[in-house]
Amino acid sequence: MISGPRLALLGTAVLAAAVVAAPLAQAPSPKSQALWFKGNLHTHTVNSDGDSTPDDVVTWYRERNYQFLVLTDHNYLTSVEGLNALHGADDKFLVVKGEEVTSRFGDKPLHVNGLEIERFVPPPEGGGSVLEVLQQMVDGIRQARGVPSINHPNFGWAISPDELGQVQRTKLFEVFNGHPTVNNLGGGGVPSLEETWDRILSSGKLLYGIAVDDAHYFKRPEAPAAPRPGKGWVYVRSDRLEARALVEALERGDFYSSTGVQMQAVDASTSALSLSVRTEPASKYRIQFIGRQGRVLSEVTTPAATYTFKGDEGYVRAKVMESNGKVAWIQPVPVGAAGPK
């Protein structure tokens, strides 16, 4: 990973075919000042149930060429001022305030991250349903000027697609969480988080999917199923490495999520979604463009492609699959009047 690669935007020429293999484009564009910043949005320290100090945790990410990190201890707002004095550097590295607001309804664990909150958000007391508790958490985070993200919906089989789709005033959820027991793939009749995502998008609600570590253990090599760092992250497009700019870009969907695939370019216009992968020499790639109800609209085996909207897709998102199982999730673009909002 090189830090802050310049974004190369693909052109948006109208194409006769819905999908064509596109060459890597290097043309300058008005957005060429924007950079991609790599960051992890969900991390624990000894201030909750992590095994390492904030200093050790931040060091782990900084040494591996992440550009930002959100510390999200359970019901605890870890201070970042001292950490940024030690580790922060203009345009190179930033620690962002956060908290995993942690509650439950009955036996169902309900966790919502507050990103860039201005103050501690207490977990709600009471609430008559999963949805009510989630909504109180989201609203508490908003009142603290934070950006909410609903965590690991299938952990403890806590949040159904219906419930997730009804939460108001939130745009983000974890489509991938690197903790080993959060059931990303569903099972036993419960949909995977990608199926959940498509159901919610198809119902008309615009939701963006993030990938996170939820790292707890930076030590303990003897624990094979431990929640470790380096599993999932986001690349956020922003003109600067600043906390408010980063979370606002997340809420605009101006980012992609990854477990190891890096993009050369991602460009969504009103007429098309264009992608190209920063390829690894030993890997091969498949790109799927996905629309309403999770239907695969098109699949290509080249590392770059453009999908031109027909108008009736509802939304178009993309999934890039690398030959060793790494994935990038490109955020959905609403298409037509019936698209998600």
Cα distances from 152 to residues 85, 145, 281, 331, in angstroms, run 32, 22, 33, 18
Cross-strand bridge partners of residue 277: 263
**Cβ of residue 72: shortest distance to Zn ion, in angstroms?**
6
Q: Which is nearer to Zn ion, 40 or 308 (CB)?
A: 40
The CA-based angle 159-162-163, given to 5 degrees, is 45
- Distance of alpha carbon 121 from the chain centroid: 22
Dist. CA 337–CA 340, nearest whole Å: 9
Dist. CA 151–CA 102, nearest whole Å: 10
Q: Take residue 243 and report the two structure tokens written for it.
A: 């906390």
Q: Which is nearer to Zn ion, 19 or 70 (CB)?
A: 70
Q: Which is nearer to Zn ion, 1 or 223 (CB)?
A: 223
* DSSP three-state, residue 200: helix
**Cβ of residue 2: shortest distance to Zn ion, in angstroms?**
29
Dist. CA 125–CA 189, nearest whole Å: 31
Q: Which is nearer to Zn ion, 152 or 237 (CB)?
A: 152
**Cβ of residue 244: shortest distance to Zn ion, in angstroms?**
23
Q: Which is nearer to Zn ion, 151 or 308 (CB)?
A: 151
Single-letter amino acid, residue 252: R
**Cβ of residue 10: shortest distance to Zn ion, in angstroms?**
36
In the complex, which residues of this chain contact Zn ion (CB under 5 A)?
Answer: 100, 111, 151, 214
**Cβ of residue 100: shortest distance to Zn ion, in angstroms?**
5
**Cβ of residue 180: shortest distance to Zn ion, in angstroms?**
13
Return the biggest CA–CA distance within the chain.
57
User: How many residues are listed for the chain in this entry?
Assistant: 341
Residue nearest to Zn ion (CB): 111
Q: Which is nearer to Zn ion, 214 or 322 (CB)?
A: 214
